[in-house]
Amino acid sequence: MSTYKNFTVETDADGIALVTWDMPDKSMNVFTMEVMDEIDAIVDVTVADAAVKGVVFTSGKSSFSGGADLTMIKSMFSMLAEEQARDPATAAQKLFDAAGRMSWLWRKVETNGKPWVSAINGTCMGGAFELSLACHGRVAANSKSVKIALPEVKVGIFPGAGGTQRVPRLANAQDALQMMTTGSSLTAQRAKAMGLVHQVVEPAELINAAKQMIKDGLKAVAPWDEKGFKVPGGGIWTPAAAQLWPAAPAILRRESAGNYPGALAILKCVYEGLQLPFDTGLKVEQRYFTEILRTTEAFSMIRSLFVSMQELGKGARRPAGIPKTEFSKIGVVGAGFMGASIAYVTAAAGIPVILVDQTQEAAEKGKAHSEKLVADQVGKGRMTKEEGEKLLALITPTPDYKALSDASLVVEAVFEDRAVKKAVIEAVEAVIPETTIFASNTSTLPITGLAENSKRADQFIGVHFFSPVEKMMLTEVILGEKSGDKALAVALDFVAAIKKTPIVVNDTRGFYVNRCVFRYINEAYDMLIEGVPAAMIENAAKMAGMPVGPLSLNDEVAVDLSQKIMKASIADLGPNAVKPEHMALVDQLVDVFDRRGRKNSKGFYEYPAKPAKKFLWPELKTLYPQKKASEVDVSVLKQRLLVTIALEAARTVEEGIVTDPREADVGSILGFGFAPYTGGTLSYIDGMGVKNFVALCEKLAASYGPHFKPTPLLKDMAAKGETFYGRFDPYAKVGEAA
């Protein structure tokens, strides 16, 4: 057998070649051009070797594979850009050929003449599962770690290496469409029930079971390559299909508002492909995949949700030359909802936590929050009782600050009051060594001002979590004016340890995410005051791609919190900091009607007892004279909601709050769900072109107020034909540092 960099091939006495994928210097196997070249060579070698009767393909790591490598995806887009500039006529053909490389390699595996079995352990995503589908047999380990998915739609594309053709030829069309258009993960048992996996066995038996399939005479022919093959459910021309296919595009539009071309392409590929011979279906898929790769949505989503998110998660903004911190103990001061949640995610990462509050009872109450979360996870089968007990044992509740004396990081999560935080900072610094980093979890108070209470401002930093902490993937790391590189490195190491995605921002009121969130909410206030029906505001937001409407979001963050923030802004910045009409609206809701949001079951919405669903407060329409629905242009509502957020993001760049466009984009999507199909706030601007965005801002400013006026930076960029990713190129900084 030949020697490979990423694979070992061992043939046993029965003539079964065990191909083990184990990439050196990688925590997870990923597809690169080198990996595909080696798989191509392995097919040739095993076919040519008469001693080989079949192949078992598996992973030498704890997971099978997460799919394609960052560099391969980036190189495909850079190749497209270069070819487009050099020779537009051949650019599409070259992209078509590149897009089909994986698809036709998997077809080569499928038609090689010898049986292949995929032995799936851990995560098996994207192209890795499409390779498994091309194998003649599939065995998955009976383990919670097994997650099988074709998640490409979540980054703007779709399963373009045979997924749209094989899945609906193995599973019924409805299940196949739901799996691919949502990108949701399947357990091993669910994959077997759908017909996508043949066997589920105990992990220790995975390889033996895979080999046994070959010994038992597994055919080296895919079902669709056999004469008389019938699609599950009978294909396109059946009574059941007559019910499914007219409804499918309508359901997709309801769920996505037509914002995701990749999702619609899945429907087209399946519908057309099931009426054609398999190889022709693959060509149809390749054609659509090439078309989708050329869309702004695919480019922007892949860049932000795949490339940038991974780069930021791996420490793209971490200062060089500072040793990585291995945390043996972390302190959390403040056992309220946020502090208790931070303690939970820290313990879930296997790190001991000292949870401090004023009394033992208060600290115990904070730990009880983790006990409730653990009980919920155990009840749902996502955690064993033993795992839950181990997690809870890592949390030590106490009123004694001295217990923090050997913590490498202390996170303060007390009430949003400068005096309260000052007292905590002083109490903590009295017991911790100079090497300990102090992080404040504040959502509104500037870090530089809080650091004035510290004797070591260079060791002081902000780490802003979002609620609910255990579900929200984003964390803002805020640099005060004196925060040092070590403080930043330790904060980023902590965020990585608890498996969150960090963005690094400079200090300002509201930081980055909350500034954008409140612009979104404020625009809804303007619309309400203009008489736009509340239901139209909420629906326009969802049609624009936002996960929840601005009024619903305001209820979640609390209407009385908006009131406090607005009053604090007026106190600090003067009466012009808040529109009087906005203050009057919020004061009326809170002070007159006691409508504080979800927390007291009444805000812009009513929250009846479950199982009844929330609904808009009927009396909202009595607060302002109402416009008729026919008088309101929904497309303009959508523009206003997206533009006001993107414009605020541009302001934060102009002010030097956000310095890396990747962080603006990823932060906006993970922080509050900014229309993911745009790739984030700055990609939204770049995607339409800065010149066009400036023109749209000026048009909206003329009709809806000066807060839509484009900033000097945007006007300058428009005049020069620049983009945010061009002018603030994050990779140029890396090159300069090198």
> 3-class secondary structure for 78-117?
HHHHHHHHHCHHHHHHHHHHHHHHHHHHHHHHHCCCCCEE
Q: Give residue 99's pLDDT.
A: 84
Q: What angle do CA 660, 663, 664 make, to 5 degrees?
A: 95
Element (H, E) at 354: strand 353-356
Can you name the CATH fold of 514-727?
Answer: N-(1-d-carboxylethyl)-l-norvaline Dehydrogenase; domain 2 (1.10.1040)
Instruction: Kindly write down the DSSP assignment for every residue of 38-57, as one continuous string.
Output: HHHHHHHHHHH-TT--EEEE
Rounded to the nearest 10 degrees, what angle do helices 278-293 and 88-110 cross at? 140
What separation in angstroms does the CA of 345 have from each of 369, 370, 442, 471?
12, 9, 17, 10
Q: Alpha-carbon distance 503 to 485, whole Å?
A: 15
Q: Give strand pairing partners of 62.
A: none
Q: Is the pLDDT of residue 734 over 60?
A: no
Q: Decide: 355 and 366 in contact? Cβ < 8 Å.
A: yes
DSSP-derived 3-state class of residue 268:
helix
For the structural domain made of 7-294, what CATH number should be given? 3.90.226.10
The more confidently predicted of residues 417 and 143 is 143
**CB neighbour list of residue 228: distance below 8 Å, 6 or more residues apart:** none
Lowest mean pLDDT among 113-127, 186-200, 507-521: 507-521
**DSSP 8-state secondary structure symbol assigned to residue 671:** H
| Mean pLDDT across 631-652 | 97
What separation in angstroms does the CA of 32 have from each of 68, 105, 188, 323?
7, 13, 26, 30
Q: Is the pLDDT of residue 228 over 60?
A: yes
Instruction: Kindly write down the DSSP assignment for every residue of 414-477, as one continuous string.
Output: --S-HHHHHHHHHHHHTTS-TT-EEEE--SSS-HHHHHTT-S-GGGEEEEEE-SSTTT--EEEE
Q: Alpha-carbon distance 348 to 330, whole Å?
A: 13
Work out the pLDDT band at 610, boundaries 50, 70, 90. Answer: confident
Taken in order 325, 326, 328, 330, is the CA torsion positive or negative? positive
End-to-end Cα spacing for the chain? 41
Q: Alpha-carbon distance 621 to 613, whole Å?
A: 20
Q: Give residue 415's pLDDT.
A: 84
**CB neighbour list of residue 599: distance below 8 Å, 6 or more residues apart:** 558
**CB neighbour list of residue 411: distance below 8 Å, 6 or more residues apart:** 330, 331, 332, 333, 339, 342, 439, 440, 441, 463
Work out the pLDDT band at 733, boundaries 50, 70, 90. Answer: low
The more confidently predicted of residues 417 and 546 is 546
Nearest residue to 296 (alpha-carbon basis) of 157, 150, 92: 157
Q: Alpha-carbon distance 551 to 31, whole Å?
A: 43
Q: Decide: 7 and 58 in contact? Cβ < 8 Å.
A: no
Q: Decide: 508 and 655 in contact? Cβ < 8 Å.
A: yes
Q: Give residue 343's pLDDT.
A: 95
The pLDDT tens digits for 305-321 are 988 998 998 888 999 99
% of the chain residues with pLDDT over 70: 99
Q: Alpha-carbon distance 133 to 149, whole Å?
A: 12
28: phi then psi, degrees, rounded to nearest 5: -140, 145
Instruction: Kindly write down the DSSP assignment for every residue of 489-517, as one continuous string.
Output: HHHHHHHHHTT-EEEEEE--TTTTHHHHH
Nearest residue to 339 (alpha-carbon basis) of 467, 446, 436: 467
Q: Which two tokens stand for residue 473?
A: 């993937």
Q: What is the 3-state secondary structure (H, E, C) of 675-710?
A: CHHHCCHHHHHHHHCHHHHHHHHHHHHHHHCHHHCC
Q: Is the pLDDT of residue 737 over 60?
A: no
Nearest residue to 332 (alpha-carbon basis) of 296, 366, 301: 366
Taken in order 203, 204, 207, 210, is the CA torsion positive or negative? negative
Work out the pLDDT band at 332, boundaries 50, 70, 90. Answer: very high
How many other C-beta atoms lie within 10 A of the C-beta of residue 82? 12
Per the prediction, the chain carries an average pLDDT of 92
The pLDDT tens digits for 694-710 are 999 999 999 999 999 99
Q: Is the pLDDT of residue 419 over 90?
A: no
| Mean pLDDT across 97-101 | 86
Nearest residue to 496 (alpha-carbon basis) of 311, 639, 259, 727: 311
Instruction: Kindly write down the DSSP assignment for every residue of 55-68, as one continuous string.
Output: EEEEESSSSSB--B
Q: Decide: 375 and 392 in contact? Cβ < 8 Å.
A: no
Q: Give residue 735's pLDDT.
A: 43
Is 464 labeled as catalytic in the residue annotation? yes
DSSP-derived 3-state class of residue 270:
helix
| Mean pLDDT across 161-179 | 95
7-294 and 514-727 share one CATH topology?
Answer: no
| Mean pLDDT across 257-279 | 94
DSSP-derived 3-state class of residue 557:
helix
CATH architecture of 330-510: 3-Layer(aba) Sandwich (3.40)
The more confidently predicted of residues 341 and 509 is 341
Q: Is the pLDDT of residue 214 over 80?
A: yes
How many other C-beta atoms lie within 10 A of the C-beta of residue 433? 9
Work out the pLDDT band at 1, boundaries 50, 70, 90. Answer: low
Q: Give residue 306's pLDDT.
A: 87
Q: Alpha-carbon distance 157 to 126, whole Å?
A: 11
Q: What angle do CA 412, 468, 368 make, to 5 degrees?
A: 70
The model scores a pTM over 0.85: yes
Q: Give residue 70's pLDDT.
A: 66
Q: Alpha-carbon distance 597 to 617, whole Å?
A: 11
The pLDDT tens digits for 550-572 are 999 999 988 998 998 899 889 88
Element (H, E) at 560: helix 559-573
Q: Decide: 168 and 176 in contact? Cβ < 8 Å.
A: yes
Nearest residue to 183 (alpha-carbon basis) of 217, 207, 154: 154
Q: Is the pLDDT of residue 540 over 50?
A: yes
Q: Give residue 242's pLDDT.
A: 87
State CA 613 to chain mean position distance.
27
The alpha carbons of the chain give a radius of gyration, in whole angstroms, of: 28
Q: Is the pLDDT of residue 27 over 60?
A: yes
Nearest residue to 67 (alpha-carbon basis) of 160, 142, 135: 160
DSSP-derived 3-state class of residue 230:
coil
What is the chain's length? Answer: 738
Domain ranges of the chain: 7-294, 330-510, 514-727
Rounded to the nearest 10 degrees, what angle do helices 33-48 and 88-110 cross at? 40
Q: Is the pLDDT of residue 736 over 50?
A: no
Catalytic residue among 136, 464, 582, 707: 464
Q: Give residue 29's pLDDT.
A: 94
Q: What angle do CA 502, 506, 507 make, to 5 degrees?
A: 115
The pLDDT tens digits for 650-683 are 999 999 999 999 999 999 999 999 999 999 999 9
| Mean pLDDT across 408-436 | 90
Q: Is the pLDDT of residue 33 over 60?
A: yes
